[in-house]
Structure 1
Amino acid sequence: MREGSLDAPVRHPIDWNDPDFYDEAKLDEELRRVFDICHGCRRCFNLCDSFPRLFDLIDESASGELDTVESKDFKPVVDACTLCDMCFMVKCPYVPPHEFNLDFPHLMLRYRAVEHRKGQRAMGERELTKTDRNGKLGTMVSGLANWASSEKNTLTRPVMEKTLGVHKEAALPKFTGKTLVARAKANPPQVDAAAPAHGRKAVIYATCYGNYNTPEIGEAALKVLAKNGVACEVVYPECCGMPQMEQGDLPKVAHKAKSVAANLKPWIEKGYDVIALVPSCALMLKFEWPLIATDDPGVKALAEATFDISEYIVDIAKKEGLAEGLKPLDGAVSVHIACHARAQNMGQKGAELAKLIPETKIGVVERCSGHGGSWGIMKDNFEVGMKVGKPVFRQMKQNGDAKYIASECPLAGLHIRQGIERSGEGEVAPELAPHPVVLLAKAYGLA
């Protein structure tokens, strides 16, 4: 129950077409209103670095109150926000419909939208958001790209740090030599017509990360779904726009929402469910797009048809029952529940999926890993992200018991694995699975 309201939290549309949205005086007024409420509450002090920065800023001011804090000093508070939505979803008692009407992440987004319109976002961050361009190029020369981006490469990584602002020690995702779309076309799984869920059909939205970086997530999902009778197609029109949203480029996000929704509309009309492989992308399709592209009925229809991959398989398990053939894994599993999975308000579906594996010890960690999309790899943020993630790194190892670790967010998984390795003092780190569905495929003997 939320303090001051018995109603479920609601989010208002993001009115980015209104000129007042970009009015800096009105933005500053709203920042001060919200920050003053946060200062008096402080319930979110341990969620991310935004709130400690805000509270330190106020405490160290001349009056110890917000009135003696200069507006120019708000930027570090904004820059520390990863748009994880955890303050809105799990902590803040003052979100709508409470009369205080707080939405801290979307206020930070508004600040970045003003910066973006003024051309003030960093060049390196802007280039990193071009995931389709980067993915296509990286896939074409995956060997060279993966060599250059390796944190062990003392030749190229200092250059990347200087030119793009990417911390030279941050683990970066590898590029595949063959995209998920190409793999699915070349080797479509055979659907088991005798399986309990036969008759379901779904289109898998590959996501930029699933298509260019970790196609094994999509391949595992396709095999598990086919085993359970679900006929699947893989599509990838373009990126969901989460990287652009992090930078405040709301016009680009709206364009992507309408474009992808138009591409998927024929599938939805034919009765296909839509499955997103990465929780950040599922969050965009389900919740963020309808708040940004409010005038597009196709975006609304897509939101209503979309499932997270963990959510979808758990739904099959509950309604039809899973196909037989699951075997225990050869060791314990530690599952991280990603923030953008939690923000979907669907429960711990990644953990529920892992617990479908018989006779296998499953540990669950529900806490921010400290990564936050592209935020965690930047020079100014990497060590902060490592500090935030320390409790997760420790818990994921389960006192040395876990053989496998997996996060629903593959980027968070990379960050967690690196954090474990950095703090392990020579110990062997657990094996990283890019998503719990990969472990379910392994339990089926399909990996």
Structure 2
Amino acid sequence: GIHRDKQLPQFHGETFADWFRKGAPQGSGENGDVVLFNSCFVNYNGPDIGRDVVDVLARNHLRIQLGGVACCGMPALDAADMDFAKTQARKNVEALYPLVEQGLPIAVVNPTCSLMLRREYPELLAIPGEGELTRKATAVAENTYDIAEFVYLKLHREKKLDLAFRSTPGPIAYQVPCHLKMQNIGFRSRDLMRRIPDVKVKLVSECTGHDGTFAMKVEHYDESIEAGQRAFDGMRKADAEIWATDCPMAAIQLEQHAGKKAYHPFQILARAYREDGFPTKIEATE
């Protein structure tokens, strides 16, 4: 069962997908198109994260569409329910592959989901007698990016990233999620946040101990706190008013056991574009 003391994700009356379909802001398409795989957490528990991601992408002249029709399948894989994990993988691959065929990149908000699409789907769907499905899964994997990786490669590296930030958070303590490190793509969220004037990012690479549903369970609750202690200590010692992590479950763990809310890096970027985003204003340059 779930431990009685565990802080749990909140559910919202309006999902991110519902908000998006009602008329989310859109970029001009000047910098291309992108398929956003928003994740279950963003859809049901963190639509504010999704709205800020859309705000950053649209501001940078990207045209956005939602992709994926189902949970990425990681909870099933974590519970050794291989059949359901394969079912979810098949649904998403069949939905995403036609978009990949059109030359569209897939940007994923949650590092757990991007890890699934990139690393697990080609293996889960390497099914004897279904070579075409395996080929599609591989094509989807090869065209999937973590959201910060996508913006870094497609905008920042090409000198197309909008740098007109209007306010700054100052120093940031940034916890790097385990599933992001596994993708070996560098610290792109850190690199993007560094583009905000007066920002110095203190990187904390230790695991917070949440591990999917592990930290929620009665039998593992105390163990998860012990496992995350080095991350909690590292974030506190960073001496930063603003905390960040790409993993929403790590954010919950940090808030409950280290005492401070951690924001998704794109929430920080979105706020920094606004004059009232942070107390410290940035003077506009000619």
- Relative to the length of structure 1, the TM-score reads 0.58
2:191 aligned partner, one-letter code:
E
Q: Which of the residues 244, 251, 258 maps onto 1:420?
A: 258
| Aligned twin of 1:137 | none
Q: Does 1:244 align with 2:83?
A: no
| Aligned twin of 1:273 | 105
Q: In 2, Cα distance between the equivalents of 1:192 and 1:333? A: 31
Structure 1: stretches of 5+ with no match in the other structure: 1-164, 422-428
| Aligned twin of 1:73 | none
Q: Does 1:332 align with 2:171?
A: yes
1:438 aligned partner, one-letter code:
Q
| Aligned twin of 2:125 | 293
Residue 298 of structure 1 and its aligned partner are, at CA, apart by 1.5
Q: SS of 1:263's equivalent?
A: helix
Residue 328 of structure 1 and its aligned partner are, at CA, apart by 4.1
Structure 2: stretches of 5+ with no match in the other structure: 278-286
Residue 327 of structure 1 and its aligned partner are, at CA, apart by 3.3
| Aligned twin of 1:223 | 55
Q: Which of the residues 209, 212, 219 maps onto 2:44?
A: 212
Please give the per-residue CA displacement for 1:70-119, whole angstroms capped at 9, x wherever unaligned.
xxxxxxxxxxxxxxxxxxxxxxxxxxxxxxxxxxxxxxxxxxxxxxxxxx
Residue 275 of structure 1 and its aligned partner are, at CA, apart by 1.0
Residue 256 of structure 1 and its aligned partner are, at CA, apart by 1.2
Please give the per-residue CA displacement for 1:219-255, whole angstroms capped at 9, x wherever unaligned.
1111111111111012340100000000101111111
Q: In 2, Cα distance between the equivalents of 1:327 and 1:187? A: 25
Q: In 2, Cα distance between the equivalents of 1:310 and 1:376? A: 26
Q: SS of 1:188's equivalent?
A: coil
Residue 287 of structure 1 and its aligned partner are, at CA, apart by 0.5
Q: Does 1:379 align with 2:218?
A: yes
Residue 359 of structure 1 and its aligned partner are, at CA, apart by 1.1
2:169–2:242 Cα contact (<8 Å) kept: no
2:67–2:95 Cα contact (<8 Å) kept: no
Q: In 2, Cα distance between the equivalents of 1:220 and 1:210? A: 11
Residue 217 of structure 1 and its aligned partner are, at CA, apart by 1.7
Q: Does 1:436 align with 2:229?
A: no
Q: Does 1:171 align with 2:7?
A: yes
1:345 aligned partner, one-letter code:
N
Residue 350 of structure 1 and its aligned partner are, at CA, apart by 2.3
| Aligned twin of 2:20 | 184
Please give the per-residue CA displacement for 1:38-69, whole angstroms capped at 9, x wherever unaligned.
xxxxxxxxxxxxxxxxxxxxxxxxxxxxxxxx
1:343 aligned partner, one-letter code:
M
| Aligned twin of 2:243 | 405
2:26–2:64 Cα contact (<8 Å) kept: no
Runs of 4+ in 1 over 6 A off after TM superposition: none
Q: SS of 1:189's equivalent?
A: coil
Q: Does 1:348 align with 2:187?
A: yes
Q: SS of 1:319's equivalent?
A: coil
Residue 306 of structure 1 and its aligned partner are, at CA, apart by 0.6
Q: Which structure carries more helix by proportion?
A: 1
Residue 199 of structure 1 and its aligned partner are, at CA, apart by 3.5
State the aligned residue count.
269
Residue 221 to residue 395, structure 1, CA distance change in 2 (3 Å): same
Higher relative contact order (CA 8 A, sep 6+): 2
Q: In 2, Cα distance between the equivalents of 1:286 and 1:387? A: 30
Q: SS of 2:157's equivalent?
A: helix
Residue 443 of structure 1 and its aligned partner are, at CA, apart by 0.7
Q: Which of the residues 369, 389, 393 maps onto 2:228?
A: 389
1:91-110 mapped onto 2 (5 Å cutoff): none
Alignment RMSD: 1.6
1:262 aligned partner, one-letter code:
E
Please give the per-residue CA displacement for 1:333-366, whole angstroms capped at 9, x wherever unaligned.
1111000000111111222222222212321101
Q: SS of 2:202's equivalent?
A: strand
1:370–1:386 Cα contact (<8 Å) kept: yes
Residue 376 of structure 1 and its aligned partner are, at CA, apart by 1.2
Please give the per-residue CA displacement for 1:159-217, whole angstroms capped at 9, x wherever unaligned.
xxxxxx11111111011111111111113213146xxxx23211101211111111122
1:35-74 mapped onto 2 (5 Å cutoff): none
1:413 aligned partner, one-letter code:
A
2:40–2:71 Cα contact (<8 Å) kept: yes
